[in-house]
Structure 1
Amino acid sequence: MFSSLRIHNYRLYASGQIISLVGVWMQRVAQDWLVLELTNGSAVALGIAASLQFLPVLLLSMWGGVLADRLDKRRLLLWLESALGVCALALGLLDVSGVVELWHVYVLCFLLGCFSAVETPVRQSFVVEMVGRSSLTNAVALNSMMFNLARIIGPAVAGLAIVAIGTGWVFIANAVSFVGVVLGVWLMRTTELLRSDPVPRAKGQLLSGLRYVRGRPDLMTVMLLVFFISTFGFNFYLTLAIMARNVFGGDADAYGLLSTLIAVGTLAGATWAARRKTPRMSVFIGSGVVFGVLEVVSGLMPTMLLTGLMMIPVGVAMMTFNTTANATIQLAVEPEMRGRVMGIYMLVFLGGNPVGGPLMGWLGEVNGRAPIIVGGVVSVLVTVTAWVILVRRGDIGRPRLRRRGRNIAAEPAETADAAV
C-alpha cells in the first residue's frame, strides 16, 4: 500500500506535506471561528469569507493548469507554497496584535485563494514527475490518506489551541508548517524527476483545454455532477461551524470535534480507495447517492453526539465519491492536457463556493440545520439525474471513461496516465 514511499523525492514531498496539511486544517478552523467571533456568530459573514477564498478559483485555476503544462512545476511550487505561508503569517500577526478586523480576514482570504487556485493544479500534476507512471495510482491514494489524516489531527488540535491560546497563534503555527513542504521540495534530487516535456507557449492554450473537455460528453457529465455536489453538499466548513455554535450551543472545541469525526470517515474512504485499482462509474454514482442520503440524516440528528457519529459514514461516502471522480477523469485524459484538465476540474470542484457559500450561509441564518439538509437533497437529485444520463449512454459498469474514443478499461492501472 505504501510503495510510493520507496521513492526518495516522494518521501521528501510526503514528509513536508503532512506537516503543512495539519497546519492548513488548523487555520481553516481558526479562520472560521475568528469570523464568527468578529461578527457575533454571523453565518452570512462566514459564507462571504468562504466565497472570497474560493472566488479566485473561477479566475485563476485554469490559468494555473496552463502554467503547469508550460513551466517547471518544482520551481512554481517553491514560490507558491512560500506565498501561502506569508498569508498565514500576516493574519496571525494581525490577530495576535489585537488589531484584526473583519476586512483584514476578507482580504487575506482572497489572497490565499489566489495562490491556492494556481498551486493546486501545479501540485497535482507534479506528482507524476516524482513517482512515474508505475507508482502514480498508489501516490494518488497516499496523498488522499495524508490529506485526511491531517484533517483528523488539525481540527482537533485547533479546537483545543483556540480555547487555550487564541486563534492568532494557530495562524502563526500554520505559517511555520509551510517550512516543511518548501524544504521538502527544495531538497529533491532534480536528476531523478521524471519531467514531461513542457508544452510550448502558444495562443489559445486555455481555450483548447476547454474545447477538449467540452468535446468529451463523458468528462462533462462527471464534472457537472462534481460541481453541484461540491457546491451544495461539501459545505462542511460552513455547516459544521453553524451546527456546533448556533444549533448545539458549542464552542470551538465542539466544531473541532465534528470536523475530526468527518475526517475519520474520509480517511477510511481514502484507505479503501488505495486498495482499488480501477475506478468504476457505478461506484462513483452509488457513492454520490449514499453521501446525499447520509448528509440529510445527519442534519436531522437531535444531538451533537449523534450528528458527530453520522459524520463518519458521511466522510467515507464523500471521499469515495471524490477519489473515484478524480481517478476517473485523470485516467481518461491525454498527458499533454493533464495540467489544463486539472485546472478545469478544480474550477468545477471549488468554483461553486462563491455561490454556495453565501446561499448556505443565508439558509443557516433561517435555520441552522437547513444547509446540511438542503445540500444532501441536492446531492441525491443531481446524482440520480446523472445516473439516468449515464445509463442511457451505456457508461455505467465501465471501469473508466474513454480516451480519444477508445475504451481504456483493459489498460493496466500502472501504465495509465493519471494525476493526483
Structure 2
Amino acid sequence: MSAMFRSLSGFNYRVWFAGALVSNVGTWMQRTAQDWIVLTELTDHDAAAVGIVMALQMGPQLLMVPWAGLIADRFDRRRLLMLTQGVMGFLGLALGLIVVTGVAELWHVYGFALLLGFASAIDGPARQTFVSELVSEKNLPNAVALNSASFNGARMIGPAVAGVLTAMIGAGWVFMINALTFTAVLISLHYLRTDQLRAQPRAARGRGQLMEGFRYVAGRPDIVVILVVIFLVGTFGLNFAIFTSTMASTEFGMGAGEFGLLSSIMAIGSVAGALLSAKRERPRLRMVFGAAGAFGLSCLVSALMPNYWTFAISLILVGLTALTLMTTANATVQTTTDPAMRGRVMALYMAIMMGGTPVGAPIVGWVANVFGPRWSLGVAAASGILAALVGIFWMVRYKHMRLRYRVRQSPHLVLRYDGDSRSDSESAREAAAEELALEEATARRSSE
C-alpha cells in the first residue's frame, strides 16, 4: 500500500475510516440544510443568524474544554464515542421531525445547535485522540491526515446532495437522513478488534488535573504559537458557511443547489490538501505558518472573483490551503504531546479552533450584512496573513531564523533556519558551508 494510505493497512483503522466517512457525509448534509433554512426560510437572508447558529454550535467547545479533555484522557474512548455519536444522531432525528411537521422556528434551531455543541465538545477530543489507539505512533500523522481527507471527501458529496434534496423534499428529511448515518459509526465501533487497540496511558484520579493541561501547554511555546495561529484563522477565517451562503444568495442570486455545490467544489481542494499532508512523513511548523499565509492570500483572491463560477473555482485553493494548515497543525500537536496529556491538549486545541466561532461568526456575519459578503472574505484574508506574521515572528524569536542581505560583487540573500532536528553546532556548520559556497560562486563569476 502506498505511503499516502499506509494507515489503511490495519483492520481497525479501515473499519473506523469507513464508518466515519458515511457519518461525515450525513454531517455535511445537515450543516448545509441547516444553514440554508436559517438563511432563506426562517429569516430574510440574515447572515448574522447563520453566525449565531454557528456560535451556539461551537461555543460549548470553549466552555467544556477542561472537562472534555479530562474525560477523553480518563475514560474508555471507544465506549465514550458510542455514547456521544448516539446522542448526536438522536438530536438530528428530533430536529428533522420538528422541521418535517412544519412547526420549526428559529429558536428551535438555536436550541438544537447548542445541544449538539455540548455533545460535540465531549465527542471531539475523544474522537481525535482515539486515532492513536487504532494505528502505531509512526503512522499517527498519516491517520490524522486521512481523517481530514475523509471529512472533506464527505464535503464533496454531502452539500451537493443536501442542496438537491433540500430543493426536492425539504431540509427536515435531510436532517433525518443524517441521523441514520450515525449508525455507521456505531456499527464500526462495535466491530473493532478490541484486542488490537493500542492502549494509551490513562489520567489517574487526583487533584489539579483540570488545570494540568493548561500548565503543560504553557510550558510548550511551540504548541502555544500553533494555538495562536489556529485561533486567528479559526475565529475569523473558517466561517465558510457564511462566505458561501451569502456569496451564492446575495452576491450571485443563486439557489440551494448552487450553494451546496460551492461546498463540494471547495472540498476538492480540501481533500487534496489532506492527502498531500498524508504523504509527508512528519508535520513541520514552517508548513503551518506557510499554509496560514497562503490561506489568507487565497481568500483575498476569492473575494475579488467577478462571477459565480470563477468564485467557485477559487474555493479549491481556499480548501487546499485551509486543510493543509489544519491537518499539519493537528498532527504536530498530537505527535509532540505526551500521550497521557493528549486528550486535554487536543480539547484545548479544538476549543480554540472551534470555540472562537462564537466571537468571529457573528462579527463576520455582521460584516457581510453591512459591507457585503466580499468584505467578509477580506476579514478571512487578514486573519491568515496575520497568523503567518505571528509564525514568522516566533521562528525568528525561538528558532533563530535569520534573513541577511549582503552586497559584495553581486547581492546575496541568505535565509538561515535552525530546525528542531538540528543542533546549534550543526546549524552553524551548515550556515558556514552555505556562505562558503556563495563566496566561491561569486569568485567564479568575477573571474569570468
TM-score range, shorter chain: over 0.9
Cα distance in 2 for residues equivalent to 1:262 and 1:62: 33
Superposed, 1:230-249 pairs within 5 Å as: 230-249=234-253
SS at 2:64 equivalent: helix
Following superposition, the deviation at residue 398 of structure 1 comes to 6.1
1: CA distance between counterparts of 2:130 and 2:420?
Answer: 22
AA aligned to 2:181 is S
Aligned to 1:317, what secondary structure does the other structure show?
helix
The corresponding residue for 1:50 is 54
Indicate if the aligned counterparts of 2:133 and 2:200 stay in contact, CA closer than 8 A: yes
Query: Taking CA–CA contacts closer than 8 Å with sequence separation of 6 or more, which of the two structures ends up with the larger relative contact order?
Result: 1
Mapped partners of 2:273, 2:6: distance in 1:
19
Give the letter aligned to residue 37 of structure 2.
L
Q: State the partner residue of 2:404.
A: none
State how 1:318-397 maps to structure 2 within 5 Å: 318-366=322-370, 367-394=372-399, 397=417
**Are 1:155 and 2:159 matched, yes or no?**
yes
- Residues 60 and 121 in structure 2, CA contact (< 8 A), matched pair in contact too: yes
Aligned residue for 2:373, secondary structure, equals coil
For 1:329 and 1:134, the matched residues in 2 are separated by 14
Q: Does 1:179 align with 2:191?
A: no
Tell me, yes or no, if the aligned pair for 1:49 and 1:106 is still in contact at 8 Å.
yes
Give the aligned partner of residue 306 of structure 1.
Answer: 310
Q: Which residue number in structure 2 is paired with residue 409 of structure 1? A: none
Is 1:16 matched up with 2:19? yes
Report the 3-state secondary structure (helix = DSSP H, G, I; strand = E; otherwise coil) of the residue aligned with 1:199. Answer: coil
| Matches of 2:160 and 2:203, distance apart in 1 | 43
Question: Contact 1:62/1:347 (CA < 8 Å) preserved in 2?
Answer: no
Mapped to 2, the partners of 1:225 and 1:395 lie a distance apart of: 19
Counterpart selection for 1:29 from 16, 28, 32? 32
What is the RMSD of the two structures over their aligned residues, measured on CA atoms?
A: 1.7
Residue number among 131, 147, 150 corresponding to 1:143 in the alignment: 147
Is 107-116 or 320-329 further displaced after alignment?
A: 320-329
Q: Which has the larger radius of gyration?
A: 2
Residues 84-105 of structure 1 deviation map (CA, whole Å, 9 limit, x = unaligned): 0001001100011111111110
Instruction: Give the alignment's TM-score, normalised by structure 2.
Output: 0.87
SS in 2 for 1:2: helix
Distance between the aligned counterparts of 1:338 and 1:389, measured in 2?
A: 23
Please tell me whether the aligned partners of residues 332 and 401 of structure 1 are also in contact (alpha carbons under 8 angstroms). no
Q: Distance in 2 between matches of 1:401 and 1:96?
A: 57
Summarize the alignment of residues 61-210 of structure 1 with structure 2, pairs less than 5 Å apart.
61-210=65-214
Aligned to 2:445: none
* SS of residue in 2 equivalent to 1:188: coil
Query: Which sits farther off after the overlay, 374-383 or 71-80?
Result: 374-383
CA distance in 1, matches of 2:207, 2:137: 29
- The code of the aligned residue for 2:160 comes to A
Q: Which runs of 5+ in 1 are unaligned?
A: 407-420
Aligned equivalents of 2:378, 2:421: Cα separation in 1: 31
Residues 273-282 or 206-215, more deviating: 273-282
- Tell me how far 1:383 sits from its aligned partner: 1.7
After TM superposition, what 4+ stretches of structure 1 lie above 3 angstroms from structure 2?
395-402
- Residue 172 of structure 1: how far off its partner (Å): 0.3
Q: Residues of 2 paired with 1:87 and 1:127: CA distance?
A: 25
